[in-house]
Amino acid sequence: MVTLLVATGAAILIYMGWAYLDAYLRPFLLRPTDLNYRPDEYALYGLNLFSPAFLPWMAAIPLALAVLTHRATLLSRLPARARALVAAARSHRATRSLGDPTALGTVITIAAMVLAVAALSNRPISNYLLLTLVIVGPLLLTWPARGTPLGRVAFAAAVAIAIFCALWAASIYAQQRGALSARATIDEVADRPQVALYTADSLGLNVLNVRRQTLGPGAYKFHYLGLRLLLTRADTYYLIPDIKPAEWAAGHQRTFVFKEEDDVRLEILPGNRPG
């Protein structure tokens, strides 16, 4: 079980990292696979998506499991009046139904199926709600029968579905975060590091706001301004033009890929610096 949880957690982090980078790089006409990211880099990007807002939920899971495991001991330590209230609540018909994993799992699974059909009809259904129901419902439904041969197969299928849905939910969250980061980069492109590009030959960069200056005799004859640094990978630089969001939306977006070689030199300057 520990191995399964560790493997699932690692897969979720890697997949989240890939989904984040895919959504972030898409407006810049790049893909993560084109930049040769390693699995450990994907995992670090995925881990970076977590924030302190997740801590209460992460602490609540082991706490709930501990309460369920030691519920008999905890109930015995309650005052007599509280134990009487708990006993009365447990004897209620609705509470007994909730205490039956098969019945509760059936209800949740049916609810998930109904919401899935509604989502296919373009109804506004939360993806997170639907995926949570699909994770919880089958697990509860198959849990009591997991000791039988057929029950083990059903429970294994429910676990596989839960892992798949967890990956799906994580990818949706990561893609949303990646799209927001890309939007922030486009909106605040002037805050990105400025790049002064020196070349021995003319590059013919006919792009909005990218200016060329002729330097005269020397190893580098041309100087290009109006470029911002998107990211670097090893000795490769990915540059974007310094344009406004409206100009980006109008179709003037470009991404230039350069390697610093003998005939190309790049100078990195702080953002918001005049050309």
Question: Which residue is it, tokens 């990915």?
Answer: 238
**pLDDT higher at 125 or 69:** 125
**pLDDT higher at 96 or 176:** 176
pLDDT for residue 212 is more than 70: yes
Q: Among the ranges 45-59, 90-104, 222-236, which has the highest mean pLDDT value?
A: 222-236
Q: Residue 244 belongs to what domain range? A: 192-269
CA–CA separation, 229 and 231 (whole Å): 6
135 & 243 share domain: no
Q: How confident is the model at residue 140, as a pLDDT? A: 87
CA 54 to chain centre: 14
Looking at the 3D structure of the chain, how many domains does it have? 2
The two structure tokens encoding residue 59: 């602490």
Percent of residues, the chain, with pLDDT higher than 70: 81
Task: Express each pLDDT in 73-111 by its tens digit.
Answer: 766 666 776 666 656 655 655 555 556 778 888 888 999
14 & 96 share domain: yes
Which of 24-28, 67-71, 77-81, 172-176 is least confident? 67-71
Q: How confident is the model at residue 275, as a pLDDT? A: 46
199 & 181 share domain: no
- For 174, counting Cβ atoms within 10 Å of its Cβ (0-12 exposed, 13-18 middle, 19+ buried), the class is buried
* Residue 196 · residue 274 · CB < 8 Å: no
Phi-psi region of 272 (alpha: psi -120 to 50; beta: other; left: phi over 0): left
DSSP characters for 95-108? HHHHT-HHHHHHHH
Structural domain contains residue 57: no
List residues bridging with 240 in a β-sheet.
228
pLDDT for residue 64 is more than 80: no
Structural domain contains residue 65: no
Question: Which residue is it, tokens 């590059």?
Answer: 203
Structural domain contains residue 61: no
Structural domain contains residue 68: no
